[in-house]
Amino acid sequence: MILLNVCSAFFQPAMQVVIVESVKREQRLAANSLLQGTSSFLIIVGQGLAAVLVTLFSYRLNFLIDAGCYFFSLLLLIRLPKLVVQNRQKTGSLGKRLRRGFGYIFKHGEISRVLWLQMAERAAGAYYILLMYYLLQERKESLAVFGLMDIPLGIGGVLAGIIVGRWAGRLGREAVDKVLGGALVIVGVAILGLFQLKPFSLMVLSSLLLALASFSTVIITVTRMQQLASPDYLARLFSAREMLTMGTYSASCLVVGYTSEQFGSAAVAWMLALWAVGSGITWLTAAKHKKTKVSSAA
């Protein structure tokens, strides 16, 4: 698992560079939406197929198939045509270039704000670890039930890809800012519903709403960072983003894991919900203040 996460850390920044280099600026939102929607759809199919294979055979077969998929992906990557990348600044060591990437983030307020929003969303994303504890330890549900909860997550991701790809591009910057703040508030409310509502059908509905809001935030913020970043700093920017967002998620998971054992899932769910709602309101307030400041300057 550690090796998989390490490989993902290399893959994500490279993928963002490929999208920027190969997709026109006005088509990047649609490309990111398609990417998210396809990934989420495959979650639904993969989870269902994996459950059947584990039941009929063994978990070892699933790992073997997983390894085969990675190998097939490698073959596809090898056969991809070479991208013509414009000259980029490559002076300095890896550490120095990464520090410049962080410096670039801190010097550009809009990029810093978007990155902060992504980190806030990832911190709330630790609810998934809490969900495992809640279902398996507190409700004494089976692993099959926990696996079924991935289905509404996948459906929510597909819906996010469709809705954002079709409508977000038609909205102005101010309206999109409201969508982003509102989506984080919805994440918080949905987390609360997921752990406070006892009927399984309502838990599924909360999970679907949560995924829709969360994945919509990811698609929009990634697209905005692609548009804001200078091509010279794109790879370093997304490398720094991966470090900060995954570091935030990991730290949040540690906190959630410890506090859930100490205080129970209900109390921790309130903590995550208040964090998400507070982050969303903070984003909306900052966006409103920025609009007022720009209007005053004009």
In 3D, which of 290, 138, 142, 156 has the Cα closest to residue 213? 156
Stronger pLDDT, 147 or 164, i.e. the higher one: 164
Quickly state the pLDDT bin for 271 (edges 50, 70, 90): very high
Contact of 184 with 121, CB cutoff 8 Å: yes
Give the whole-angstrom CA distance, residue 295 versus residue 298.
5
**Segment 38-93, tens digit of pLDDT:** 777 776 667 667 766 766 777 777 778 878 877 887 787 777 666 555 545 555 56
Quick one: how many helices (H) and strands (E) in the chain?
Answer: 12, 0
**Rg (Cα) of the chain, in Å, rounded?**
20
Quickly state the pLDDT bin for 119 (edges 50, 70, 90): very high
In 3D, which of 194, 190, 210 has the Cα closest to residue 135? 194
With 70 as the cut, is the pLDDT of residue 8 above it?
no
Contact of 32 with 223, CB cutoff 8 Å: yes
- Averaged over 169-174, what is the pLDDT? 80
**Which of 53-57, 76-80, 255-259, 292-296 is most confident?**
255-259
Give the whole-angstrom CA distance, residue 63 versus residue 114.
36
9-18, 80-89, 202-211: range with lowest mean pLDDT: 80-89
Stronger pLDDT, 108 or 100, i.e. the higher one: 108
Measured CA distances, 122 to 73, 224, 251 (Å): 27, 17, 10
Q: Tell me the three state secondary structure of residue 202.
A: helix
- Separation of CA 62 from chain center: 25
Q: Tell me the three state secondary structure of residue 81.
A: coil
**Looking at beta carbons, which pairs linking 287-295 to residues 24 or more positions away fall under 8 Å?**
287/174, 287/177, 287/178, 287/181, 291/174
- Averaged over 117-140, what is the pLDDT? 91
Note the residue count of the chain: 298
Single pTM value for the model: 0.80
50-64, 126-140, 193-207, 232-246: range with lowest mean pLDDT: 50-64
Tell me which amino acid residue 270 is: W
